[in-house]
Amino acid sequence: MTKKDLLKDTIKHIDIKKLDVKKLVDSYRGMSFSSRDLARAADIYNMMLGDKKASVWLTIAGSTSAAGCMQVYVDMVKNRMVDVIVATGATIVDMDFFEALGFKHYKGTPYIDDGLLRSLYIDRIYDTFIDEEQLQACDHAVGEIADNLEPRPYSSREFIREMGRYLTKHAKKKDSLVQAAFENDVPIFVPAFSDSSAGFGLVYHQVQNPGTHVTIDSVKDFRELTEIKMASKDTGLLIVGGGVPKNFAADTVVCAEVLGHEVPPHKYSVQI
């Protein structure tokens, strides 16, 4: 079995704009278990969107972008359905930025010898395959961005904004979350930025520039996100997956209190 045999069927991202699921979700209200929960979640999210005094924060963990939901998040940004994004590095770099560079995720299987995949330089996310050589090209693109920035500490938001700027000139796929967020002034925070393809690129950048180089300041991330919380009258969280992004967003209330500011808890919250 060759690499070409395994990397041939690409993941197709769902275009939610082509579907009208309102009646389906409405029908769930009379059902039980997760069906009724989903209908209630939709109601709460609609309340967030209808509250003009609330900022809506989308947090993303897990591999939903690689699994085919990438376009959903892009459409949310373009339609002003989200004001802030907090995500994992994998979501933003290994999946979204990666595809923006022209690379793909492929249909795979969990029932395969991982030793074989390693020998072929193929990475696996459960039943999804990625070309490791292409991921390393993504690493080097991150390093290239860092090479062209003023050497200083950056929040992940600042650095990801530069990634969006880079894509306006170099993207092979125009509809990416990173570029859409840049063009629509939606900040993206990645509290564990080095835990992704970006980490490899930044390590390479620092080794090549040992005297002066770019660093990522995660404390600055926390301060910037807390400042957004303090500036917002109310906030709503749409949480996909949980994890570090969820905790990071939730903890801004406590951080504001530590700074001597009394802020209300997040007014709305939905976790999927």
Joined tokens for residue 119: 């020998």
- Tokens 């306006």 — which residue? 168
Tell me whether residue 154 is in a domain.
yes
User: How many folded domains does the chain comprise?
Assistant: 2
- The answer to whether position 8 is within a domain reads no
Is 99 in the same domain as 212?
yes
In the three-class reduction of DSSP (H, G, I as helix; E, B as strand; rest coil), residue 183 is classed as helix
- Are 232 and 185 in the same domain? yes
pLDDT, average across residues 96-110: 98
Same domain, 134 and 34: no
User: Domain check: are 183 and 234 in the same one?
Assistant: yes
d(CA 59, CA 157): 14
Report if residue 261 sits inside a domain.
Answer: yes
Contact (Cβ atoms closer than 8 angstroms) between residue 196 and residue 90: yes
Mean pLDDT of 2-16: 96
Q: 13 CB contacts (<8 Å, ≥6 apart)?
A: 68, 69, 70, 71, 72
Check whether residue 77 and residue 42 sit in a common domain: no
- The pTM score is 0.96
User: How many residues can be counted in the chain?
Assistant: 272
Q: Report the amino acid identity of residue 55.
A: S
Which pLDDT value is given to residue 174? 87
Q: Is residue 230 located within the same domain as residue 208?
A: yes
Measured CA distances, 90 to 74, 135, 139, 194 (Å): 16, 11, 12, 10
Owning domain of residue 257: 58-271
Same domain, 41 and 91: no
Max Cα–Cα distance, the chain, nearest Å: 64
As a whole number, mean pLDDT of residues 112-126 equals 97
Specify if 254 maps to a domain: yes
CATH number of the domain enclosing 167: 3.40.910.10
Q: pLDDT, tens digit, for every residue of 168-191? A: 999 999 899 999 999 999 999 999
Give the pLDDT band (50/70/90) at residue 1.
confident
Give 3-state DSSP helix, strand, coil % of the chain, rounded to 5.
55, 15, 30
Does residue 209 lie in a domain region? Answer: yes
* Same domain, yes or no: 47 and 62: no
In a domain, 245, yes or no: yes
| Residue 219 covered by a domain | yes
Residue 242 clears pLDDT 90, i.e. is over it:
yes
Looking at residue 265, what is its pLDDT? 97
In a domain, 1, yes or no: no
Q: Are residues 42 and 150 in the same domain?
A: no
pLDDT-based confidence at 58, cuts 50/70/90? Answer: very high
